[in-house]
Amino acid sequence: MDIRAILMGLAFAFMWSSAFTSARMIVADAPPLTALAARFALSGVIACAIALAMGQSWRLTRAQWRAVVIFGICQNALYLGLNFVAMQWVEASLAAIIASSMPLLVAGFGWALFGDKVRPLGIAGLVAGMAGVALIMGSRLSGGTDLGGVALCLLGSLALTVATLSMRGATGGGGNVMMVVGLQMFVGAAALAVVAVATEPFVVNWTPRLAGAFLYTTLVPGVLATWVWFLLVGRIGTIRASTFHFLNPFFGVAVAAVLLGERLGWADVVGVLVIAGGILAVQLSRQADRPA
């Protein structure tokens, strides 16, 4: 793994993790699904415009169209939609920690459903990671954290896990990376807009913080982080790229603490360390299984 890939991975992990804090700011002043649909629509316009300026086309491979639909629904509409709704009641740091368990869920379901080989290091990582999540959630729930919000975050992580597993073997080759990014944003925007119109009143408290958080979420996690992820996967592969997910609990908790003043207890600190170690162990185990 070269220095450029390492820097790309660090940048992606930070941008991805920071989205939970900016989302928490947004849902404090705007209806969550409406705001998220608007964000995806704007992100899609920007990404597709950039793609056209780069000479990319609408002619995608079958694997790419599959990625557009699956990730547009499962990642954008379900995973992020459920998290946005949940963060009306759940702190950004807890939502980030739950979301960080996704690599563990992918490895666990891959072993249970597809018979993926899991080395002892990977098994230890799965057990440790889930124990860390249980430690944090037990501490937070005993402190009065909303159980319904936690359930929505868990369902969101499960939706992203399903999307990831469904793309097994679909590399998305054929170029047009930014176009894929933009089109999946439109799929998510359309799905969320239908639900938002049917379920949410349009009541917005217009504030500078809302505007800043919306623009940041649209441009940085929305467009830039997704683009960097696709480029990183193309450069070093999905398994090696996924190793950077072990940084998400750290970044997610740190950003929420600095910008939102969210307090952390000893169980949070220990749990984050255990989860990060578990994710790293699982990814290193999977990396060791790659053919030479």
- Give residue 246's pLDDT: 78
> In the chain, which residues have pLDDT < 70?
1, 167-175, 238-239, 286-292
CA distance 228 to 75: 16
- Give residue 287's pLDDT: 65
- Give residue 32's pLDDT: 94
Summarised one tens digit per residue, pLDDT across range 50-106 is 889 988 888 888 888 888 898 899 888 999 999 999 999 988 888 888 888 777 888
- Give residue 214's pLDDT: 95
Burial of 277 (0-12, 13-18, 19+ CB in 10 A): middle
pTM for the full predicted model = 0.81
CA distance 221 to 246: 17
- The answer to whether residues 222 and 185 touch, using CB atoms and an 8 Å cutoff, is yes
Q: What is the DSSP letter of 77?
A: I
